[in-house]
Structure 1
Amino acid sequence: MQYMISIDVGTTNLKMSLFTQDFQPLDGFHYGYKEVQMDDVKYELNLNEILQAIREGLIYFIEHHPIKYLELFITTAMHSIQLLNHDMSFFGNTLTWADRRGAELIQNRSKKQLETQYLTTGTPYHSMNPFYKLLSMKESLSNFKIGSIKDLIYYYLTDQWTIDVASASSSGLYSLKEHTWDNSVLNELHLSSKQLPIIENPRYSAKLTLNLAVNLAEAVVYIGTSDGVSSNYAFAGLENAAVLSIGTSHAVRIVSQVPKVNPLKQNFCYQIDAKDYLVGYPSNNGANVLQWISEIFNIDLEAMDAIIKKRPSIQGVFFPFINGERSPIWNDFIQANLSDLHRGANRESIIYSLVCGMLFNIRHNVDLLKEDIAFDKLGVVGGAMRLFGLRQLVADVLNLPIYIPQMSQAETLGTINLVKSIQIETDFDVIKPNLGQVAILDFAYSNYRVKLQRYLS
């Protein structure tokens, strides 16, 4: 019998899912990273730890299931950098999108330089963009090859140093016009394309060469795509839908048949394959804000959800930039702010107001995307969607019906959808806006937007 394994490598953990040939989930493997190095600037992962965890996950599945024929599909977080010695050994740790090195260089570049790099690559001018991290170390780059999480996992599994289009496109080194590594960008970094992996479409495959000390009749590895693309293709069957991911951070995205870039708003635009692009807005602040609220008020998420269901009055205005912010602010150094409290505020109303501030920030990005491409519904993924009060609040704040997959980790099927060019049937919980609450929240959101302009001036 043939099986499929989805390998989903995020910024904080690894998830692997085993599916039958008719896409039914059978088993899962989860690993939370232990060797994370982080401070106010640094956010590094140990790629050797991740590779070992992938190996352990594969062995676990093979030992517990009668697998002889296997297909592997890889999904990874975007914007990572791993320096390599010329023998392909790792030099230092992996820099993630959340690593802020290079942020100071952005402030020193002219508007023309920033916009040229953005319009060429579709990657916003922010420290998440690997170009600016590499720019901060360009004097030493001639000594190294430049890899990322995706291509080095693929190399580990197949001995082929190859990257998919979407992951290459999000690197800040890829030309949206020429559909390959951009020579002008590489020249500024003193790099050549020979120091980078070969770019292939997401359906590219090679035989598994990793020695697992077990017998497999056949195993093929598909290079797959990025996590953002995968989430969107999990909802491929929904018409006129964008996708909102509320993970540690949040992002709202839609698939477009034409590239769209706007330097005034700095949406991202990443090529997926020969005909499609991923367009959207990323934020630093999502469910991590909920976790922060939980910690400072000593309240678990279920108790927080009970408060959300009560809908106490909104007291004050909260700008949730506890981690700096990408869209809609694009400022690594901006800080959160809670203002306009009065003596009628209490613990529950403040907690509710903080949650609403986080969602108003999401709505701001959803509204920006609506201006670019029309849609009338949202697919939503993320662990926070297990909170039923929060689900309804998301629909009410955004004033859109939201579609939540009933299958756990359904977004991991998106890469399989893309690679196989199919639409795997998925059942959704559909949450429609409560129109009575929409009017209340619209008023509060309008106040949030007015105060945001004053806060930024």
Structure 2
Amino acid sequence: MEQAFLGIDIGTTAIKLGVIVENHLLYQASEEIRSYVEGPKKYQKPDELLEHVKQVILSVPRPLRNQIGTIGFSSAMHSLLPVVGEVKDAIYLWSDEQAGPLIEGFKGTALAKQFYQKTGTPIHSMSPFAKILFFGQQKKYPANVRWWGIKEWMMDYFTGKARIDYSTASATGLFNLKQLDWDQEILDYLEVRRNQLGEVVDTKERFTIDSSTALALGLPSDTEVIAGASDGCLTAYASFYRTGNTASLTIGTSTAVRNITQQPHVDPDKQNFCYYLDQDHYVVGAPSNNGGCVLAWAAETLDTPETFYSRIPAFLAASPIGAKGLRFFPYLNGERAPFWSANKQAEFKHLTLAHTRTDMIRSVIEGMLMNVKILVEMVGTKEGLSVSGGFFRTEALTQLTADILGLPCLYAEENEPIFGLYYLLEQPEKSGKSGTVFSPNETANANYQTIFPTYFE
């Protein structure tokens, strides 16, 4: 009986699971996760998250669970879970903005630049560094608090010890990329002791599953557990391993352009991110807060959510390229790269009586993708892109992306973190490229090339 690989991807909106045997996906399932928003505070409840993970594993048919030999984890980046004794407060998400005003003041300092260059994590309220700095000034937690995240929480339950992989750790703002360890200078600045953090381990290091967890979930007692990596790095690796494209674009709720490199690279001015994947690969790129959340806003504000996405092709067909001169600045959620500011705001520009609701919808989509073009140029991508995320399930949006970026876009179902986990750990034989390639329409791209230089003026 062939052993199966169980990949678990814990994102900010859903938990996705896949069981893979010999490069074939035999079973998949997902569970939505509830997030809570209280002003700038954005979090999930640890016990709810763990319960969802248990339920999605228990959904795997018993015979297939008996085959599982390895479990690997993908998790969202930048989460922070304060633990006091046995009490686990809240999992603060990347989108938590409580540290925003404080980090705005810090990011212009020489120390901020120095910390960025050591860690590869941009100075922004998303990072655990910013959150710990904020909570420390607020005296919110006692001195003996332990600072975990989603990955440490999962590894504590599955292996009996809080562990975090180098990849996820390199997105905390606390991890030295050269030393592959917590950075002592940064810990001293935050007044954090090493024993308050999880044990850092490599992305492929194997541990035996906790016996009580194996029993509770109906898993073999000799199952090996691997911390894995972050969802962003694994998405990039899945695309690279499957298609050969080093560059990838993901548009889910938020957006990221990523490039697989063999050496770390940081830019002190633009502050690209640079995260570890394994000893031969780093992931360099730029994120935006404004991806699918912009379309969700447009669906609620300008149309009906139930029909909006199916009607997008008709909306695009009814309004010309450039939306009759209407411009949309898509910063509904502040912005990360290249501005790194929670103060950026969205707006329509040049709106007149001649514009229709359809023009407004087209301008929203174009503005979001024009912003993506900034990220693509920031990362320096000039070849084709592997694309992933819910945005690209609408073919008209994938084609429009290719037209605006001027790059062929390859969409494949395998461009997902669970496949990245499997490829990273199992290294199966590479097959030819699969998926659908969307090539830029030359006329449309020429028009967008004319519009882009002055779009955000």
TM-score per shorter chain, which class?
over 0.9
Question: SS state of the match for residue 61, structure 1?
Answer: coil
Change (3 A) 1:439 1:56: same
Change (3 A) 1:69 1:432: same
Instruction: Give the CA deviation at 1:241.
Output: 3.0
Which amino acid in the other structure matches residue 353 of structure 2?
R
Instruction: Give the CA deviation at 1:395.
Output: 0.4
Question: SS state of the match for residue 234, structure 1?
Answer: helix
Task: Tell me the residue number matched to 1:335.
Answer: 345
Task: Tell me the residue number matched to 1:454.
Answer: none
TM-score of the superposed pair, with normalisation by structure 2: 0.92
Task: Tell me the residue number matched to 2:315.
Answer: 307
Task: Tell me the residue number matched to 1:212.
Answer: 216
Of the three residues 94, 106, 110, the one matched with 2:91 is 94
Instruction: Give the CA deviation at 1:309.
Output: 4.3
Q: Is the 8 A contact 1:82 1:90 kept in 2?
A: no
Q: Is the 8 A contact 1:236 1:423 kept in 2?
A: no
Question: SS state of the match for residue 119, structure 1?
Answer: helix
Of the three residues 358, 361, 382, the one matched with 2:371 is 361
Which amino acid in the other structure matches residue 18 of structure 2?
S
Task: Tell me the residue number matched to 1:132.
Answer: 130
Q: How many residues align?
A: 442
Task: Tell me the residue number matched to 1:440.
Answer: 447
Which amino acid in the other structure matches residue 225 of structure 2?
V
Question: SS state of the match for residue 59, structure 2?
Answer: helix
Change (3 A) 1:308 1:241: farther
Task: Tell me the residue number matched to 1:412.
Answer: 418
Question: SS state of the match for residue 333, structure 1?
Answer: coil
- Distance in 1, matches of 2:452 and 2:144, equals 51
Question: SS state of the match for residue 95, structure 2?
Answer: coil
Instruction: Give the CA deviation at 1:312.
Output: 2.3
Which amino acid in the other structure matches residue 159 of structure 2?
T
Change (3 A) 1:50 1:302: same
Q: Is the 8 A contact 2:164 2:198 kept in 1?
A: yes
- Distance in 1, matches of 2:55 and 2:207, equals 21
- Distance in 2, matches of 1:213 and 1:168, equals 27
- Distance in 2, matches of 1:33 and 1:347, equals 33
Instruction: Give the CA deviation at 1:204.
Output: 1.0
Gaps of 5+ in 1: 452-457
Instruction: Give the CA deviation at 1:56.
Output: 1.2
Which amino acid in the other structure matches residue 288 of structure 1?
C
Instruction: Give the CA deviation at 1:430.
Output: 0.6
Gaps of 5+ in 2: none
- Distance in 2, matches of 1:154 and 1:111, equals 36
Question: SS state of the match for residue 278, structure 2?
Answer: coil
Verify: 1:265 aligned to 2:270, yes or no.
yes
Task: Tell me the residue number matched to 1:256.
Answer: 261
- C-alpha offsets along residues 80-104 of structure 1, whole Å, 9 cap, x if unaligned? 1011124xx2331110110012111
Which amino acid in the other structure matches residue 437 of structure 2?
V
Task: Tell me the residue number matched to 2:228.
Answer: 224
Q: Percent identity?
A: 30
- Distance in 2, matches of 1:77 and 1:199, equals 17
Which amino acid in the other structure matches residue 341 of structure 1?
L
Instruction: Give the CA deviation at 1:348.
Output: 1.2
Task: Tell me the residue number matched to 1:455.
Answer: none
Task: Tell me the residue number matched to 1:236.
Answer: 240
- C-alpha offsets along residues 311-367 of structure 1, whole Å, 9 cap, x if unaligned? 524131110000111112211122101011233211211111111001001111001
Change (3 A) 1:160 1:421: farther
Q: Is the 8 A contact 2:370 2:452 kept in 1?
A: yes
- Distance in 2, matches of 1:91 and 1:218, equals 28
Verify: 1:430 aligned to 2:437, yes or no.
yes
Change (3 A) 1:431 1:213: closer
Change (3 A) 1:159 1:443: same
Which amino acid in the other structure matches residue 306 of structure 1?
A
Question: SS state of the match for residue 212, structure 1?
Answer: helix
- Distance in 1, matches of 2:46 and 2:36, equals 12
Which amino acid in the other structure matches residue 444 of structure 2?
Q
Of the three residues 279, 282, 294, the one matched with 1:274 is 279
- C-alpha offsets along residues 207-245 of structure 1, whole Å, 9 cap, x if unaligned? 222132636364221111000111011122434531110
Change (3 A) 1:69 1:37: closer
Q: Is the 8 A contact 1:68 1:218 kept in 2?
A: no
Structure 2 counterparts to residues 111-122 of structure 1, below 5 A: 111-122=109-120
Q: Is the 8 A contact 2:9 2:73 kept in 1?
A: yes
Of the three residues 299, 317, 320, the one matched with 2:327 is 317
What is the aligned-residue RMSD (CA, Å)? 1.8
The range that moved more, 65-74 or 23-32, is 65-74
Q: Is the 8 A contact 2:319 2:358 kept in 1?
A: no
TM-score of the superposed pair, with normalisation by structure 1: 0.92
Instruction: Give the CA deviation at 1:375.
Output: 4.0
